[in-house]
Structures are given as C-alpha cells and as structure tokens.
Chain A
C-alpha cells in the first residue's frame, strides 16, 4: 500500500447516540483507496452504525465524515452510487429469482442497459448461481443467499465495498471463495471495509484494522503494529525436561530479563517428556543470557522459539479480556 494513495474515507470525531446510548463515540479514522480495512469488535461495538453513517443512511449526532471528499449527509446518493453494502443480515426478497434480484438492483443502481445482462451473468457465474438463476430465492440455502447478497453488493462495480460479516453462515469452501474475492477486489484497487468478528479472517485479509469496543476505537494499525504495541517485550517459548519444571519456573522468574514465566500445553514437547514454558518480557538481546543462565543452572534446553502475538492476542488484550 503506497503511503500517498488517495484517502477515500475520513472521519473526525464521528459520533452517533441513540438516547443515552452512544453507539459510536468520536470515531476518527482514515482509509486509503485499495486498502482492506478491518473493523473489529463484538456485537454492539458500533460497526453497523458506522457503516450506516458513512453511507448517509443515518445522521451522526456529532463529528464529520467524508467519503470520496463528499459529505454523506448532503451527498448520500452520490456516495451510495459508488459504494456497495453487504449488511449483517442481508435479506433478499424470497419472491424474486436470483437473476431478477440482480437485474432489479442493476436498474436501481443505474447500471447501463448495454452492460446489465453481461454484468448479471458474470456475477451469477462468479458466485456459482448460474444453474439456480431462475429459481426463487425463497428456496435457497443460507450459503446461496449469502453469495447472492454479495453479488448484489457488487452489481454497480463499487469503489468501496462495505462487508458486514461476509462469511457468516458460509461453509469453508464458500468462505475461502469470499476471501479470494476480497483479495481480488483489493488487487483491482477497490477499497474494502470489512466488519468482522472473525479475527483469523481479518488477520489474513486486512492491511490495517481498527479494534472497536463500546463505540470507541481502541487501536488502529497493521496487525504487526498492534502486536508490537502489545508486546513491548518479546515472548519466547523454552522446552525443558518435565521433571525440572518447578526448578525452571523458579529460576526464570528470578531472572531480571524475564517478567514472568508460565507453562503452556504442547503435545510435541509432552511426547518427548518435555514441558514448554512461555517467558514474557524477554527482549531479543536478552535471549542469550537467559538461555545461558538456564544452562548454568543445569537445565536441559531443547528448543527456544520467539512467539509473535496473533491478532486474537491483540484483540483480547485490547478488550481487556
């Protein structure tokens, strides 16, 4: 991602309250064209309300937003012409066929008539719905409905795609297909705003993420940046003999280079009669003296590995859990 890429979404103190409940609290973010931006948070964190405000379908009670440089409150229709939104519960009209659904939204979005037939056929093909194109949506499985809803989101070939839990209810094959789609969209320069609980999905797909809780952004950055922020000191795992576990814990806890030590389950170590210990707060230069101290104390060290924080570690640490 080029640093000077065009910024397509900016918010400054964006806030929305419903009575006493502050759904989104002073949200300030900036998203560049072509970026896959993860918006992470529990239910009720404010993700859906944010998507609605950015598309001008609900009004903020404070702050401001700009999409393509336009104000969603006054230029909502122009913004929505260039966005596609997959809602969290993407309801479809059960009385329409898959083809009629896409043709209907093509007309509403103003897809040129000459392109409509081709675009609809392409979307049906891409989402493996061609064989059921003339069947009513009421008879579709949950996965098929979700695929059709995503196809509907892309009917106007949008520049920004808001996806609210896009893989919810999908089987692993369909989930992988959606992940590939998001990657393809990103490669084509489309911006993806991905609201998800699925941290592995976000870690795999997102260039940057914002972690939300109770309407507030707790942190924004790449997964690596957030992990680095979380692990100011590094973590390492050390495999020692199981019989020496208590002695090793006491030794490592007493070392000034180690902030704490704990046992972590590891099948490979257990099969070899060993135990894996996780040492916190060990910066890279401190690794050799820590291992030397263990050797001096007569501990057999079989394996030493650095531990990177996953997005899941970061997420739960930020959420205070």
Chain B
C-alpha cells in the first residue's frame, strides 16, 4: 500500500471539502439543530411544564415503557422530569446517528461524484495509485470527517443535555453506556454506511447533488427507529444498541464489497 499517496489524497479531500459551502453548511446546521436546538427546546418546554406541573398525564403515558433500570436510576423524579430524561437519553438517541451518517455522506458525495463533476477525477486516475489505494484514500477522506462530526456532536450533545437536565432535573444524565456505545461503536458504523452507499451512488451519477440526495436516503431507517420507539414498539437498550451496531457493521461489509467492485478506474473512465 502506498500510504503516502493515500494520506495525501485523503487529507486533500478533507481540506478542500471543508472549504466548500455546499459541504460545510450541512455539517454545521444539522448538528446545531439536532444536538443543540432540539434538546434546548425540549429542556425549555420541560422547565416550564415542571414549574406549572402541567401535562403530567401525557408524560406518564410517555414514560410507561421505560426500562426497569430507568426507574431505579431515576427514582424520585416527577413525571415531567422523568419525561425529559426519557426524551434526552432514549427517545432522541437514534437521531444522533443522523450526524455521522449525514456528514460522511456529504463529504463522500463531494469527494467522489463532486470530483467527477469537476472533471478532476481524470488526473487522479492517471496517477500510480491502484484502484484499492484510490478507494481507500477516498473512503478515509470521507470517513474521518464523518466520525469527527459524530464524536463532536456527541460531546456537544452531552454538554447541552446535561445543562438542560441540571436545570430541570438537578442531575447529570450523560454519558451513559447506551450513548457511549452509540458514539464509539454504532456512530462510526453509521458513518461508514452513509459513505459506502454514497460511493455506490457516485459511481452511477455525475453530480454532487445527485449523489448526496441518494446518499441521504439512508437516513430513512433512522427515522423509522425514532418513530418506532416513540410509538412504543421498542425501546433502545444497551443490548439493542449493541445489536444495531453489529448489524450496521455487517451491512457496511456488504456495502463496501459492492462499492469496491463499482470503484474501478477502468469502469469510471469508460463513463467519463
């Protein structure tokens, strides 16, 4: 493996992607909305409800499906406080996966389809890198920012959620095992999944926008997770999150097998 070339390509991709408005805007706006905006809003509403002791019956409905350890760990909380903790720790957890998934997809769309669109890919395929080195470089160039945004989002969310919880509940609630699993095991798998799907999409389309739109469709299963949990179909436990991570990593293996087959310079150049 030509690691110098791989690192040169990956670091250049990261560096130029972070100077591109179409890439940077979603990387800033989505984490701000998800990791700061929503928990702050929920905290604000919960704080008001807590003061007015309102809507307790609805909160009671919401928290009925909580796991047994929840009741023991958060004993003594009123329904509004328990509802807030339930939302911040459990209900919102799948939404976090949007971050690494979206971030890697948007950088991958710029790195693969964007490079095709700008016609700069041709110069790269004439370099002495092998197909495998080129793919690995491009994957690293998208995976690193995806994982970094995911981890950064986790840190920011932990701070915001704890500030909100301190205000309403009077205690710190994160990180816990479930969120550590999400951030360090499932998040990177989600980033790799978004990236892999975008690589496959990029080999079939010729513009950044098309690739990004197709890559963004992988967010849909996460929406299903959020809705399913909100409707009481299941509750994310540590074991379920672990299982989710294993499934995602297995899906990554399949997606990257397909991606590596589609990323051959001879096939790419035949389409340029």
Contacts and interface: CB of A to CB of B under 8 A. Distances in A.
B120 interface: yes
A105 B20 contact: no
Nearest to A96: B16
B269 A152 contact: no
Interface stretch (A53-61, A176-184, A248-256): A53-61
Interface in A124-178: 152
B24 to A, nearest CB: 12
A95 B266 contact: no
A167 to B, nearest CB: 19
Interface in B1-43: 2, 4-5, 7-9, 12, 16, 19-20
Given A110-B4, A110-B5, A93 B118 contact: yes
A301 interface: no
Interface stretch (B98-106, B122-130, B140-148, B187-195): B122-130
Given A57-B266, A57-B269, A107-B5, A87 B123 contact: yes
B8 A108 contact: yes
Contacts of B52: none
Given A52-B269, A104-B8, A110-B2, A91 B127 contact: no
Central interface residue in B2, B118, B120, B123, by most chain A CB within 10 Å: B123
A95 B20 CA distance: 8
Interface residues of A, number: 29
Given A95-B20, A108-B9, A57 B126 contact: yes
A89 interface: yes
A152 B123 contact: yes
Contact of B123 (A58, A59, A90, A110): A90
Contacts of A40: none
A110 to B, nearest CB: 6
Given A91-B120, A104-B12, A107-B8, A80 B266 contact: no
A196 to B, nearest CB: 19
Contacts of B5: 107-110
A85 interface: yes
Interface in A65-100: 76-78, 80-81, 83, 85, 87, 89-96
B119 interface: yes
A113 to B, nearest CB: 9
Interface string B235-267: 000000000000000000000000000000110
Given A52-B269, A89-B119, A108 B125 contact: no
Nearest to A113: B4
A316 interface: no
Contacts of A90: 123
Interface string B109-126: 000000000111011111
Interface in B154-196: none
A96 B19 CA distance: 10
Interface string B201-223: 00000000000000000000000
B14 to A, nearest CB: 12
Contacts of B20: 95
A77 B266 contact: no
Contacts of A55: 126
Contacts of A95: 16, 19-20
B270 interface: yes
B272 to A, nearest CB: 9
A106 to B, nearest CB: 9
Nearest to B2: A110
A217 B4 CA distance: 40
Interface in A191-223: none
Central interface residue in B7, B125, B126, by most chain A CB within 10 Å: B126
Interface of B: 2, 4-5, 7-9, 12, 16, 19-20, 118-120, 122-130, 265-266, 269-270
8 contacts: A18-B270, A58-B270, A59-B266, A77-B128, A87-B122, A91-B120, A95-B20, A96-B12
- Shortest Cβ-Cβ A-B pairs, 7 listed: A91-B119, A107-B8, A81-B128, A80-B128, A85-B126, A95-B16, A108-B5
Given A57-B269, A95-B20, A108-B128, 15 more contacts: A59-B266, A77-B128, A81-B128, A91-B123, A93-B16, A94-B118, A95-B16, A96-B16, A105-B123, A107-B4, A108-B9, A109-B5, A110-B2, A110-B4, A152-B123
